[in-house]
Amino acid sequence: MKKKVGFVGWRGLVGSVLLERMILKDDIYKFNIKFFTTSQVGHNGPKINNKKFGILENAYDLQKLTEMDIILTCQGSKYTEKVYFNLRKLGWKGFWVDASSHLRVNDNSIIVLDPINYNFIMKSIEGGCKTFVGGNCTVSLMLMALGGLFSKNLIKKIFVSTYQAVSGAGSYYIKNLLLEMGILHKSVKNDLYKNNISILKIENIISSLLKSKKNVGIFNNIPIAGNLIPWIDSDNLDGNSKEEIKGEFETNKILNLNKLKHKIIVDSLCVRVSTFRCHSQSLLIKLNKNMNISEIKDILMNHNKWVKIIQNDKLNTITNLTPAMVSRTLNILVGRIRKSNFGNKYINLFSIGDQLLWGASEPLRRMIKILIKL
């Protein structure tokens, strides 16, 4: 019999990308899906390929939720906090698959990224684990990029600087980045198209506008167009942002190293930039041994089919190694691979992936596929 999957938060940014992928890959017909809502109970569910998917159920109706074999939620941490524990208290033994971060720190959860930790996922299921959470986007994208080196235990420590797209903050911020761009353009439009323009005059108008925080700055009152913000998520009150803390914890949790002494050290500095949906990362990596670059490239490339190595030269880099080129693909680009001046065990590289695909929805889609086969 087909498994019953309840889907909550399918209209948000991650949820809609996930639904789109499940339709594209025909997953949606491999289980009985029920759509839940926090705000439109009783409304019609989505119509997919001319098939109606019933009426929307109440996402807070615990009784209805307990009828599901699997609950898939992209509704966010607050929803998880409200519903998950009460559901378990009722004795519900189904699988909970969650895009939000709330349960990632929970001892009973596994962070899923099956190209990296398939064996760990399967062992955990055998051991009775019922709670599976998608990882932080930068962490998942980094692990996908470096999968080959991790699987051969070649990494000792990593320093990563991120360049994170506005999609990571939600759909509202994609829209507002465009609005900010429009406001900036409008403020100089008359001068911009004149002959013999003074670029410094134009730049002065833009700079003053960015500093004024009056008309731009729709991004939490801080402009992101023509700007960047070197802080993501809340303050961990130890000099790190919460986003930066996730780097080390989640990397080790995904690799099942958290309880061991030889954890991988990950230091992160996370920055929001004005790209739309792809996160980039610049990595300085200390390997466990001195290795040559062609061997490293082979290991990275052969680990999974999504890694694409970009030749480390100017033309290939500027043409191919950009967020714009990765957008809406599952490719994980890895370029600028070279030895570092720090020493012969150090390398640095640059990687980019789509934050909404491998960074959020794809690990969950694949987890559902694993669970419905059980």
CB atoms within 10 A of CB 132: 25
CB closer to ligand HSE, 33 vs 232: 232
DSSP state of 9: S
Q: How near is the Cβ of 136 to ligand HSE at its closest, in Å? A: 4
Instruction: Considering only the stretches 116-124, 163-171, 342-350, 365-373, report the one whose residues sit in contact with ligand HSE under the rule CB under 6 A.
Output: 163-171
CB closer to ligand HSE, 6 vs 168: 168
Regarding 136 and contact with ligand HSE (CB under 6 A), the answer is yes
Choosing from 154, 160, 169, 245, the residue that interacts with ligand HSE (CB under 6 A) is 169
Torsion, Cα of 48, 49, 50, 56 (10° steps): -10
Q: How near is the Cβ of 166 to ligand HSE at its closest, in Å? A: 8
Regarding 268 and contact with ligand HSE (CB under 6 A), the answer is no
Where is 155: in which H helix or E strand? strand 155-163
CB closer to ligand HSE, 168 vs 335: 168
Q: What is the spatial order of strands in the sheet that 32-37 belongs to? A: 57-58, 32-37, 4-8, 70-73, 95-98, 131-134, 109-112
Q: How near is the Cβ of 21 to ligand HSE at its closest, in Å? A: 16
CB atoms within 10 A of CB 131: 17
Instruction: Considering only the stretches 41-49, 118-126, 161-169, 185-193, report the one whose residues sit in contact with ligand HSE under the rule CB under 6 A.
Output: 161-169
Q: How near is the Cβ of 163 to ligand HSE at its closest, in Å? A: 10
The answer to whether the beta carbons of residues 64 and 58 sit under 8 Å apart is yes
Regarding 100 and contact with ligand HSE (CB under 6 A), the answer is no
Choosing from 164, 251, 281, 361, the residue that interacts with ligand HSE (CB under 6 A) is 164
Regarding 168 and contact with ligand HSE (CB under 6 A), the answer is yes
Question: What is the rounded CA–CA span in Å between residue 296 and residue 275?
Answer: 29
Question: What is the rounded CA–CA span in Å between residue 362 and residue 356?
Answer: 8
Dmax of the chain from CA atoms? Answer: 74
Choosing from 19, 56, 112, 137, the residue that interacts with ligand HSE (CB under 6 A) is 137
Q: Name the residue with the smallest CB distance to ligand HSE.
A: 168
CB closer to ligand HSE, 103 vs 169: 169
Q: How near is the Cβ of 353 to ligand HSE at its closest, in Å? A: 11
Instruction: Considering only the stretches 4-12, 103-111, 114-122, 164-172, report the one whose residues sit in contact with ligand HSE under the rule CB under 6 A.
Output: 164-172
How many Cα atoms sit within 13 Å of 178 on the Cβ side?
Answer: 7
Structure tokens at 248: 């080390």
Q: How near is the Cβ of 246 to ligand HSE at its closest, in Å? A: 8
* 137 counts as catalytic: yes
* 43 counts as catalytic: no
Q: How near is the Cβ of 170 to ligand HSE at its closest, in Å? A: 8
CB burial string 172-211: b at 16+ within 10 A, e below: ebbebbeebeebbeebbeeeeeeeeeeeeebeeebeebbe
Size of the site for ligand HSE (CB under 6 A): 9
CB closer to ligand HSE, 245 vs 296: 245
- Burial of 268 (C-beta count, 10 Å sphere; 0-12/13-18/19+): buried
Which residue reads 């698959």 in tokens? 97
CB closer to ligand HSE, 45 vs 359: 359
Regarding 247 and contact with ligand HSE (CB under 6 A), the answer is no
- Sequential DSSP letters for 109-131: EEEE-HHHHHHHHHHHHHTT--E
Region 217-236 residues binding ligand HSE, contact defined as CB under 6 A:
232-233
Three-state DSSP state, 187 = helix
Question: Which residue among 270, 278, 279, 303 is the active-site one?
Answer: 279
Regarding 323 and contact with ligand HSE (CB under 6 A), the answer is no
Question: Which residue among 74, 137, 270, 278 is the active-site one?
Answer: 137
**Inter-CA distances, 38 with 79, 239, 282, Å:** 9, 36, 39
Question: Which residues of this chain interact with ligand HSE, rule CB under 6 A?
Answer: 136-137, 164, 168-169, 232-233, 243, 359
Catalytic positions: 137, 279
